Amino acid sequence: MTNGLGRRARNLEEFGMNMQALHEFERSSFTPYAPRTDGGPPDVFITSWAKSGTTMMQQMFHQLRMAAATGAGDMDFDDISRMTPWDDTAAMLDFDMTAPQRAEPRGFKSHREYERLPAGQRYVVTLRDPKECYVSFHRFFDGWHLERGALSLEEFWPLFLGGGPGGCDYFTHLLSWWTRRGEPDTLLTTYRWAARNRPAMIARLAALLEIEITPQLSALVEEMTTREFMHAHKDRFDDAMVCAAMEQRLGIPADSDSTKVQAVGSDSKAVPPAIAEQIDAMWAEQVLPVTGHADFAALAAELDPV
């Protein structure tokens, strides 16, 4: 027996109905996140905002720790979020967040700001231009949670502001992590820099994790985090666990592509003028006074290594 609409949502109200229905079932395995008490290394939270490089960094983190532990990569999984679990969807997926992981340190996915994450851990954050995020977020929902073409780019604005399960709005997230850019427990850069400078990003991530790897293993992780490699294995990065839950509880076939890894990246120029104006206005009101940067390009120029 299924709940919800029995199909993908066609508007915001229906989307909310399906999301509520996904949570209405009897759980048997769910256990929330708890910091470790066994004296092991601090946990790692990969906590970029939605559509800002989270999946690439989950893959980089997992392959890096596996390469260090075993000398090889690891693609023996159905969903990268089984390797680096997401507490905000764990109840929906009946997932045990305390289950053993394949290598140290433990890693977890998040879209949260610092203030709502456990203190005393380590944090990896990649930032992205908000207009690119907007286009990518819409592509992500279109044809997966929403029927293809159901919401235009203009109509998508309320979902963009939400930031995904457990998340926050884009600007709250950016400002929270901006204030921590010099903290030793935080690795903060932009998604574009990380994607274009993978060897350097792998080295920075290894330093944060206190992992020593050889040039050969670094090259392996670099290859396994290319857009081409991840797109060729995109079924591992397309929310297989969420798709299974949607099929079981909503009657929506698990045959859609959540488009987390696109063959071609999103273009900020696709943002409608009215939406672009709202994003610019929020940046000027919230980000400019704190950072001194009039737009994302200026902020990235200060943040990214030369």
Task: Please state, in angstroms and rounded to a whole number, the distance separating the CA atoms of residues 213 and 207.
Answer: 10
Mean pLDDT, residues 21-31 = 95
Res. 47: pLDDT tops 90: yes
Q: Look up the pTM and report it.
A: 0.94
Mean pLDDT, residues 27-47 = 96
Residue 52: name the closest of 188, 254, 143, 185 by CA.
Answer: 188
Res. 186: pLDDT tops 70: yes
Res. 212: pLDDT tops 60: yes
Task: Please state, in angstroms and rounded to a whole number, the distance separating the CA atoms of residues 111 and 95.
Answer: 18
Task: Please state, in angstroms and rounded to a whole number, the distance separating the CA atoms of residues 32 and 87.
Answer: 6
Residue 302 three-state SS: helix
Please report the pLDDT score of residue 164 as a whole number: 82
Which 8-state DSSP code applies to residue 49? P
Choose between 2 and 132: higher pLDDT: 132
118 and 33 in contact (C-beta within 8 Å)?
yes
Residue 195: name the closest of 108, 106, 266, 105 by CA.
Answer: 266
Please report the pLDDT score of residue 256 as a whole number: 60
Q: Which two three-digit tokens encode residue 244?
A: 């299974």
Give the mean pLDDT of the chain: 94
State which H helix or E strand residue 188 sits in.
Answer: strand 186-190
Amino acid in position 78: D
Q: Which residues pair with 122 in a beta bridge?
A: 44
Tens of pLDDT, residue by residue over 132-180, are 999 999 999 999 899 999 999 999 999 999 888 888 999 999 999 999 9
Please report the pLDDT score of residue 262 as a whole number: 55
297 exposed, middle or buried (CB, 10 Å; 0-12, 13-18, 19+)?
A: exposed
Tens of pLDDT, residue by residue over 255-266, are 765 555 555 556
3-state helix, strand, coil in the chain (%, to 5): 50, 10, 45
Please report the pLDDT score of residue 2 as a whole number: 67
Give the lowest-confidence range in 33-42, 75-84, 131-140, 250-259. Answer: 250-259
List the end-to-end C-alpha distance of the chain, in Å, as a whole number.
Answer: 56
> 185 Cβ partners below 8 Å, 6+ apart?
42, 121, 122, 123, 208
